[in-house]
Chain A
Amino acid sequence: QKEVEQNSGPLSVPEGAIASLNCTYSDRGSQSFFWYRQYSGKSPELIMSIYSNGDKEDGRFTAQLNKASQYVSLLIRDSQPSDSATYLCAGSNSGYALNFGKGTSLLVTP
């Protein structure tokens, strides 16, 4: 079973703080990883992709990948109330389909 695990939350952070979202995966063959943001009642929106070990930054978002530890994380700097959403982690082992985690609910409080 190719599992992607996420803490369901909710993770609550104050406005302006750093939100840290974590994800572990069981399939060592996974090569590509993705973070999606999903607002309530809406569809998932791709916000970050990461393919190699290390950090990848895009604006206030930083994705981190550690293949040895089978660990992916997403950091959101200067969190805003508009960042409140469910964040889905997904991995791919170069097959067609992605393996999705069940998501972490983030709440940014003003």
Chain B
Amino acid sequence: DVKVTQSSRYLVKRTGEKVFLECVQDMDHENMFWYRQDPGLGLRLIYFSYDVKMKEKGDIPEGYSVSREKKERFSLILESASTNQTSMYLCASSLASLSYEQYFGPGTRLTVT
């Protein structure tokens, strides 16, 4: 069964803090993704990775960085959290195949105060 887990369901951080969001998948998927979802704006891709140590910017990478040291783990880092980064953060993974079906984790609702 497909399984993507995220380190926290809810997180509250203060402005300026460094924030780490972790995602782990157990499906041996090559591709991993970080999205944020905001009302009225839909899902927006922040970064993705198609292999260990490889990363590509998505549509809104500013203020974020990522790390993928192992195939199953993809981390999103907010270097200095700001209130406009309050959002639902969703991790997803997919096989490197023509199907490109993405499977999502449960999400982390981050509040920056």
A residues apposed to B, CB below 8 Å: 31-32, 34, 36, 42-46, 49, 51, 88, 90, 92, 94, 96-98, 100-103
Q: B74 contacts the other chain (Cβ, under 8 Å)?
A: no
Question: How many residues in B have their beta carbons less than 8 Å from beta carbons of A?
Answer: 23
**Bound Cα distance from A41 to B6, whole angstroms:** 15
Q: Is the CB of A96 within 8 A of B90?
A: no
Q: A96-B48, A97-B33, A102-B41 are in contact. Are A45 and B104 (CB under 8 A)?
A: yes
**Bound Cα distance from A34 to B103, whole angstroms:** 11
Distance in angstroms from A47 CB to nearest chain B CB is: 11
**Bound Cα distance from A32 to B102, whole angstroms:** 12
Distance in angstroms from A44 CB to nearest chain B CB is: 5
B residues apposed to A, CB below 8 Å: 31, 33, 40-43, 45, 48, 50, 56, 58, 90, 94, 98-107
Partner among B31, B100, B105 whose Cβ is within 8 Å of the Cβ of A43: B105
Q: Is the CB of B50 within 8 A of A96?
A: yes
Chain A residue at minimum C-beta to C-beta distance from B58: A97
Residues of B within 8 A of A97 (CB): 33, 45, 48, 58
Residues of A within 8 A of B41 (CB): 102
**Bound Cα distance from A45 to B90, whole angstroms:** 12
A-B contact pairs, 30 of them (CB 8 A): A32-B98, A32-B99, A34-B101, A34-B102, A36-B104, A42-B106, A42-B107, A43-B90, A43-B104, A43-B105, A44-B43, A44-B104, A46-B101, A49-B101, A88-B43, A90-B102, A92-B100, A94-B100, A96-B31, A96-B50, A97-B33, A97-B48, A97-B58, A98-B100, A98-B102, A100-B43, A101-B42, A102-B40, A102-B42, A103-B42
